[in-house]
Amino acid sequence: MTERRALDGVVVLDLSQVYNGPYCTMLLARLGAEIIKIEPFGGEPVRWRVVGEQQTAAFDLLNGGKKSLRLDLKNPRGRELFLRLVAQADVVVENFAPGTMQRLSLGYEVLAEANERIILASGRGFGASTPQAGQRAMDLTIQAVTGVMATTGQPDQPPAKAGPAVADFFGGTHLMVAITAALYQRTVTGRGQHVEVAMQDAVIPSLASSIAGYLDSGGTLPERTGNRHGGLAVCPYNVYPAADGWVAILCMTDGHWRTLCGLMDRPDLGDDPAFASPPARVAQMDKLDEVVAGWTAGLTRDDVAGRLQAAGVPCAAVLSLSEVMAGPLVGADGMIRPVRGADGRESYVFGNPLRLADSAPSPTEAASALGEHTADVLGERLGLDAAEIRELRAENVV
């Protein structure tokens, strides 16, 4: 394997905050890009949102290995310093409220004057052509207007938000893809561009099962199906009780169904023409769920999962967060990695879900303190000396 990483040499100025943009730049960092996180004097909202003075775990998870520069973009000198950094950078990432970059006099046209190769990547709530284009948005509100909440929960209960922040993270992932596409296109055109990804747009495709169920049924299927398939097109497909918890089981094929029947000692169901097709099983899902639950309830989670997985039927134990944090996803090579900062503080950062065989892994580093690299960035990139940096600090520019 080469010691180079896929995005070595790419410099990203990260103005983003909360989850959407920071996850995008975290992915870029894991592929080798240098991320300079630029924050206002109070830091970005997630850094301190829990009562107390310690950085939050949420901030730590998403910002490991990024350099931290404190800079007042509302100050003319701060704006000048930022544009000097833009002249040397490849990408600027922001997910401010619509119009913020223009109010700061830092819209794409201004950035392109400083560097025609710059790529401005904007995370938005709503698509530019939608009526809500100028509205502020957060993960919860995007879940509300895209059908995510309407399709989450039990049929006889109110809409519920999805547990994960799906809008933020789907939006951030798509924004990272748009950036890498723009970087590639720049190798052909020699120019940068403005790319935008709306969380609204990024979330909609994940509703494929629910939207398909709505279309196929002429709008007659219930919106919320609990733990059953979103389009009510697969059965068994549910979470079933075990002696020590819960297991998730789904039979995507007729073969899965017949195998499950054999394991349950119910070959009669597997051979019964009344259950021989997906539509037939869906039509009697209450009965089949009762049969499956009666079998799983007498076994442990691991026993159920082990038997079904060995037989090729998709199944998994439902793990609590405490079990996840005590399991194999946490560790030096896991998706949740323990780290120790320069100050000795222990925290966790996310690992890299993007595995490229010919791109060396990024080192695991803790999130930086607010403004920790201000002097380094201004000195190394802009050539400012210690006296100039002290003057900027005295004037509350940095």
For tokens 């695991």, the residue is 364
DSSP string, 173-240: HHHHHHHHHHHHHHHHHS---EEEEEHHHHHGGGGHHHHHHHHHTTS-S-S--TTS-TTS--SSEEEE
Number of CB atoms found within 10 A of residue 342's CB? 10
CA distances from 20 to 122, 179, 212 (A): 10, 14, 27
CA gap 62, 23 in Å, rounded? 6
Q: Residue 120 has which token pair? A: 């401005």
Cα pseudo-dihedral 44, 45, 47, 53, rounded to 10: 120
Q: Which of 167, 120, 128 is nearest to 144 (CA)?
A: 167
For tokens 């009780």, the residue is 241
SS3 percent helix, strand, coil of the chain, rounded to 5, is 40, 15, 45
Number of CB atoms found within 10 A of residue 171's CB? 30
CA gap 225, 247 in Å, rounded? 17
Cα pseudo-dihedral 70, 195, 34, 99, rounded to 10: 0
Q: Residue 106 has which token pair? A: 């830092």
Q: Which residues are catalytic?
A: 168
